[in-house]
Amino acid sequence: MGGASSRQFDSKREKSWLVPHEEYLRLGEDRSGRAYAYRELFQSALAEEDLHMVRKATHYNHPVGDDGFCQAIEEKYGITLGNMSIGRPKKGMDGK
């Protein structure tokens, strides 16, 4: 089977190698408190504008975040984010 989900972590089949993120731990003092707070995060729908932004970012495989977040991703993984030209690179004047 593939990787474990947060649901599997919160179930009775907890794996010792799966460590919850510190942000998740801040949601509550115990497992039931964290589970309740996590569910509450999704009780209201996203604004249509935000939903469009997430869908567009997903379509283009681009992170959703401010410039600082995107820069941190570029530096950490040695990649360039943003719109790339479609197709092969243009040849130079010498045909190469």
pLDDT in tens, 49-77: 999 999 998 888 788 989 999 999 999 99
19/36 same-domain check: yes
The Cα–Cα gap between 88 and 79 comes to 18
Take residue 88 and report the two structure tokens written for it: 């092969």
Whether 91 is covered by a domain: the verdict is no
Whether 85 is covered by a domain: the verdict is no
pLDDT of 1 reads 43
Whether 93 is covered by a domain: the verdict is no
Q: The domain containing residue 25 runs over which residues?
A: 6-40
The Cα–Cα gap between 63 and 73 comes to 9
**Total-model pTM:** 0.46
**Cβ-contact 26, 37 below 8 angstroms:** no
Whether 58 is covered by a domain: the verdict is yes
35/55 same-domain check: no
- The structural domain count of the chain equals 2
80's CB contacts (< 8 A; 6+ apart) are 74
